[in-house]
Structures are given as C-alpha cells and as structure tokens.
Amino acid sequence: MMQERQPEDQYAKVTADLLNYPDVTVGGSKGFGSSALKIRGKIFAMLSSGDKFVVKLPRQRVESLIAAGEGERFDANHGRWMKEWVTIPVDFQDKWLMFAKEALDFVGSLSND
C-alpha cells in the first residue's frame, strides 16, 4: 500500500503535474475555488474545505464512482448535491491524479465552444 500523504501535499503534487498541460491554471478567485485547477477558466478539480478532493465528471461517472464506493456526493454548502461533482475520499488519494486528468478531459471538452 502506498504511504498516505497529507491531502494538501497530494493536491500540490496533482496541481504541479497538471500545470504542465496547455490552458490549465490554478486559482485566481477568492472563496469557492480559490485554489482550484481550471481549464480555460472553468474549474475541473479542487481541494475543498475539510481537505476533500473534488472533481467535475459526467453525471453517470459520478453515480458509478459513488456506487463503487470510490466517491461521495458533493454539496458546496448550498444544501443540495451537485450532480456533476464528486468528492474523492483521502483513502483514494493515490488515484487523485487519474481522476483529475479525467475531469480535465471532461471539462476541457465542454469549454471548447
């Protein structure tokens, strides 16, 4: 089993890797998403309050990750679940980069218009 890192350290590693991709930036705003990873200005991954790693994926993928026990529903403190967002628990932080790349592809394809 891979040695567990602190969530902030793992997120920093994911961020450093993804900043090598074209059009990927980090942060730029205050509050929600202040340290979020973005593709052409659209958030695709972030570390939310409570050190939870959150990614934007197609709704069906979110549902399958939740069903498989690899994800949890994400609520941005509005009292309702966000259908295309999933929280990936710290137990799966060795997969955070994989999920972030998947989110990058998904959100990148949405903002190509």
| Residue 81 falls inside a structural domain | yes
- pLDDT confidence of residue 47: 92
Q: How far apart are CA 53 and CA 19, in angstroms?
A: 17
| Residue 28 falls inside a structural domain | yes
CB 86 within 8 A of CB 73: yes
| Residue 49 falls inside a structural domain | yes
Q: Helices (DSSP H) in 1-113: which residue ranges?
A: 7-18, 59-67, 96-110
pTM of the entire predicted model: 0.87
Taking only the tens place, the pLDDT of each residue in 20-78 is 999 999 987 666 667 899 999 999 999 987 778 999 999 999 999 999 999 999 987 77
59 is in which domain, residue-wise?
7-110
> Beta 85-88 vs 24-26: how paired, if at all?
unpaired
Domains of the chain: total: 1
| Residue 1 falls inside a structural domain | no
| Residue 58 falls inside a structural domain | yes
CATH number at residue 96: 3.30.1460
